[in-house]
Structure 1
Amino acid sequence: MPVLEANSATLQSALEGESPVIIQFWAEWCAPCRAMIPIVDQFAAERGASVTVARVDVDANPDLSLKYRVTAVPTFAIAQGDTMLSSFSGAMPLHAFAERVDKALS
């Protein structure tokens, strides 16, 4: 499943689904954020059947940055419905990203 380029409405719709949602908060000007895009895209391609992956541009969606208390980018939030399961920040290789997600979902 491809990554959802999310705004408030589309993210809310994704959170109302049955799958957990991994939210990537990023900004175009952020080099580590851009470095994580292909990693998150690969993760979504491999695991998209069991999770929804959404990407939120913090500059275009400041309301979501406030709601999820994003103070640095890249930040990743893992949520299911209205429940925040985990969040973490920083660039990392695919295996480390997958481990963090798996830990949050276990």
Structure 2
Amino acid sequence: MGYELCDYSSPKAVYNTRHDVKVGDSQGWKVYDSDFYNKWSEEKQFRIGDILLFEYAANEEGNDVSEINGDVEFMTCDPTSPVAVYKTGHDLVRLTELGNYYFITPRSGYC
């Protein structure tokens, strides 16, 4: 799933508003269908400082979250060089700069 942050004209508007966003809303991070998360993220506006909450069953192998470098890794579902790996089942990721963010699950066949 890729995220794109909004670029607002006023830096004050970007830095003064923070939202906590549960990834996948009520479904959480358990729908193994990238189209679901792509559609979900397209309906959102993310800002610098927002916090993404990834909730999933941490005791099931392959449910964890890998933040990957970019579009190529995302399109090829390549988790071999992640930016970060989250495994608690209640992972918080702060969006710190403008740009695209990419997250996948390492579960085989579910990117």
TM-score normalised by the chain length of structure 2 = 0.30
**Which is helix-richer, 1 or 2?**
1
Q: Answer with 1 or 2: which has the greater Rg.
A: 2
